[in-house]
């Protein structure tokens, strides 16, 4: 058997059935590359699942730590201040509510100054263009 009678897949090619064996070999190589692509995609999927799982676990750990830290601080405040824990929880709820309210000073002094100077600049530019257009 000659070297040129063997296809890269290792399938011998003989006589009239040469195209049949060649098609099988090419399809085998196609399936191999398709499987490699699918394996790569599957690896990426597995990595992403692993990453998201660890992210979620870390987030839950942080939330749990934050909650435990808050509980410990309330216990310490209860001991130091002499207030009941329920009173401290009410105070905490009031403070949270005060920070969660929408702010009404959304149009600050800085924003007002920027708008005023922007309007003055636009008016000056408009007047400059009119003067040069007319004269």
Concatenated DSSP letters of 66-111: HHHHHHHHHHHHHHHH---HHHHHHHHHHHHHHHHSPPS--S-HHH
pLDDT in tens, 15-74: 554 444 444 444 555 556 666 778 889 999 999 999 999 999 999 999 999 999 999 999
What pLDDT is attached to residue 38? 82
Every domain of the chain and the residues it spans? 3-101, 107-135
What pLDDT is attached to residue 56? 96
What pLDDT is attached to residue 134? 78
What pLDDT is attached to residue 99? 83
Residue 122, both tokens: 């636009």
CA distance 92 to 87: 9
pLDDT in tens, 75-134: 999 999 999 999 999 999 999 888 887 666 666 788 889 999 999 999 999 999 998 887
What pLDDT is attached to residue 103? 64
47 closest CA partner among 59, 55, 37, 57: 55
CB 11 within 8 A of CB 25: yes
């Amino acid at each position: 058997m000659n070297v040129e009678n063997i296809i890269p897949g290792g399938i011998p090619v003989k006589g009239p059935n040469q195209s049949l064996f060649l098609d099988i070999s090419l399809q085998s190589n196609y399936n191999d590359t398709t499987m490699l692509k699918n394996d790569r995609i599957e690896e990426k999927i597995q990595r992403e699942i692993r990453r998201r799982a660890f992210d979620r676990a870390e987030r839950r750990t942080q939330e749990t730590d934050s909650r435990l830290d808050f509980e410990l601080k309330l216990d310490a405040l209860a001991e130091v201040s002499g207030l009941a824990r329920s009173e401290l929880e009410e105070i905490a709820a009031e403070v949270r509510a005060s920070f969660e309210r929408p702010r009404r000073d959304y149009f600050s002094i800085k924003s007002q100054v920027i708008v005023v100077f922007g309007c003055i600049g636009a008016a000056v530019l408009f007047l400059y263009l009119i003067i040069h257009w007319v004269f």
